[in-house]
Structures are given as structure tokens and as C-alpha cells.
């Protein structure tokens, strides 16, 4: 397994994501319906959604911004991590009743389902397999994309795959729902991986053609980076809807603050440091 980073503690994790919404009410209703999230804070131009214990998603009104083009660096997907496989099964039954088109992938370390929101932002909904079943070799975790046994996931929740009609209508997100990882589109995956290793002390834990996966504390990944649709692209010249920023949460910011001392482009807000990567993604690390 990779060595633990001295820059940020091994328990550093994804906190929340901000999306710039062209149609704020519609996007809010979509995420509430899809994931059973609650409104935690609301103004005329911003809505924060989450569970009873944690904010996960902030939507900010941006009605004048264009939709992002597919080859624009930005969000690939936001990954919502369910605490158990049974929780994932309950969500899957709920999503099936909504009639959504969903893709899937068994990644060996996790079982995941994929879709997009009405504004084209990618979403992953997943549950991890037990860590003691993950395979590590030479500091890299083995991952793949195989077919998910969706019927087995449903049965884990006590749901008959052949009868999804007799289910409650008031689906709510489990309290343990978190953002497990973020996956970003960049112009060069290797360059991006080096930036995040050098800047935030993330460990490179897996490589695929045109993609890299990094984490703290030997997780399978807190951050995915790919150039599959954006190879060779630089920082966009003009704003667009979509990703507004990613927040990581850490119990101790002092190591990162010392590491970044004197570096240009760092905003220090006391309990939070904010910076941008070479493709303009806003990254915040907050102590909590």
C-alpha cells in the first residue's frame, strides 16, 4: 500500500461539491428526488443539500452561464458513497421506480451505478466492498469495470428484484451518505496527478490509459482524473455552468499550510485554504 502522506492526515476526505446551476429549482428537485437529500440552507441564489448530519451539495444559481461542452475540463462525476451494500440496494430500487437510465460497474473495490443530472453533470452512486477484499500490488490497488449483479444488490436490502412495486414512496438518504470521491476532467491526466501529489500530498493508487486515481490513507480513490474527452485542453477562457468547486475536509490543516507557504494563488481563510489546479478547478481544504 502507498505510504501515508505527511502533508495532510490519512483521514482527509471529500466534504462537499458546488455546482453552478442554470435552472436552480429544477436541479434542486432532481437531487432531492434522486438521493433523498434534505434542504439544509437556502437563499434566492443558493441551496445546500445533504443528510441530517452532513452538507454534501451546494447549488448556486448561474442562469446566464452556458452549458459546458463535452471537451471542457470540469466535472466527470460526483460520487455519492452509501454506508452499506443494503443501503445501495434500497437506493437502486428507488432509482428503478423513478424510471431513470442507469449504467453500472463492478470495480472490485466497489459496486457503482452511473447517471447524469438534467444539466449534464455526471453522478456515481456506490458502495464499497470491505477493505480486506481489496488487492494491492506495488502500491497500486486493483480495479476493473465488470458487470454489477444488480439483483444481488437488491436482495442485500431484502428487496425482491422481480417486485419493485411494493416499496415506500418517502425515500430518504441514509445518515451515513457521504461524497466518497470526485472525478474531474483534465487536459493531461499524468500532469494533473503530479500536481495533486505535489500540492495536496495525495498518493497515486491506480493508473488507467488516460486516467489516474489518487487518495489519502490507502483508500481506493478520493480523486479521479481523466483526459478521455479533454486531452490537450487548458484552462477554459470563460466560465460555464457545471462544477463550481470541490471541498476536502481534514482534521489538521497545519501541514498543508506549511507546505504551501509562499506559493502564489493560495487563499488562506483561517480554517480553510483555497487554490486552483492548472485547469481552473477550485479546490478548498477545510479543517473540521
CATH number of residue 73's parent domain:
3.10.180.10
> What domain range includes position 179?
13-287
- How would you class 147 by CB atoms within 10 Å of its CB: exposed for 0-12, middle for 13-18, buried for 19 or more? exposed
In a domain, 250, yes or no: yes
In a domain, 245, yes or no: yes
pTM, entire model: 0.96
Lowest mean pLDDT among 3-7, 18-22, 236-240: 3-7
In a domain, 43, yes or no: yes
In a domain, 41, yes or no: yes
Q: How many independent structural domains does the chain possess?
A: 1
Query: pLDDT tens digits, residue range 250-278?
Result: 999 999 999 999 999 999 999 999 999 99
243 is written with which cell numbers?
Answer: 462544477
In a domain, 6, yes or no: no
Query: pLDDT tens digits, residue range 205-248?
Result: 999 999 999 999 999 999 999 999 999 999 999 999 999 999 99
Specify the pairing of strand 55-61 against strand 46-50: antiparallel
What is the overall mean pLDDT for the chain? 95
Exposure of 42 in the CB half-sphere (CA atoms within 13 A): 8
In a domain, 2, yes or no: no
Residue 152's CB: how many other CB atoms inside 10 A?
12
In a domain, 138, yes or no: yes
Dump the DSSP string for 130-163: PGGG--EETTEE----B---HHHHHHHTT--TT-
Placement of cell 495532510 in the chain: 8
Amino acid at each position: 500500500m502507498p505510504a501515508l502522506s505527511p502533508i495532510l492526515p490519512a483521514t482527509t476526505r471529500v466534504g462537499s461539491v458546488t455546482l453552478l446551476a442554470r435552472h436552480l429549482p429544477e436541479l434542486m428537485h432532481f437531487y432531492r428526488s434522486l438521493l433523498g437529500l434534505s434542504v439544509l440552507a437556502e437563499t434566492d441564489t443558493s441551496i445546500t443539500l445533504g443528510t441530517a448530519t452532513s452538507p454534501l451539495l451546494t447549488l448556486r444559481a448561474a442562469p446566464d452561464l452556458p452549458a459546458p461542452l463535452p471537451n471542457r475540463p470540469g466535472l466527470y462525476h460526483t460520487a455519492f458513497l452509501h454506508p452499506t451494500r443494503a443501503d445501495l440496494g434500497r437506493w437502486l430500487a428507488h432509482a428503478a421506480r423513478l424510471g431513470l437510465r442507469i449504467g453500472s460497474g463492478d470495480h472490485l473495490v466497489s459496486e457503482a451505478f452511473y447517471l447524469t443530472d438534467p444539466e449534464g453533470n455526471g453522478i456515481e452512486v456506490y458502495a464499497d466492498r470491505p477493505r480486506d477484499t481489496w488487492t494491492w500490488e506495488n502500491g497500486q490497488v486493483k480495479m476493473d469495470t465488470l458487470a454489477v449483479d444488480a439483483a444481488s444488490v437488491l436482495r442485500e436490502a431484502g428487496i425482491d428484484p422481480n417486485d419493485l412495486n411494493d416499496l415506500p414512496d418517502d425515500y430518504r438518504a441514509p445518515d451515513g451518505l457521504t461524497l466518497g470521491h470526485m472525478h474531474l476532467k483534465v487536459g493531461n491526466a499524468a500532469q494533473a496527478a503530479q500536481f495533486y501529489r505535489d500540492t495536496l500530498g495525495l498518493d497515486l493508487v491506480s493508473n488507467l490509459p488516460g486516467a489516474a486515481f489518487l487518495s489519502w490513507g490507502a483508500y481506493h480513490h478520493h480523486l479521479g482524473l481523466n483526459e478521455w474527452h479533454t486531452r490537450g485542453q487548458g484552462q477554459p477562457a470563460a466560465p460555464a455552468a457545471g462544477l463550481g468547486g470541490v471541498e476536502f475536509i481534514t482534521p489538521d490543516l497545519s501541514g498543508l499550510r506549511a507546505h504551501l507557504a509562499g506559493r502564489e494563488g493560495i487563499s488562506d481563510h483561517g480554517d480553510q485554504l483555497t487554490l486552483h489546479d492548472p485547469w481552473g478547478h477550485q479546490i478548498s481544504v477545510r479543517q473540521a
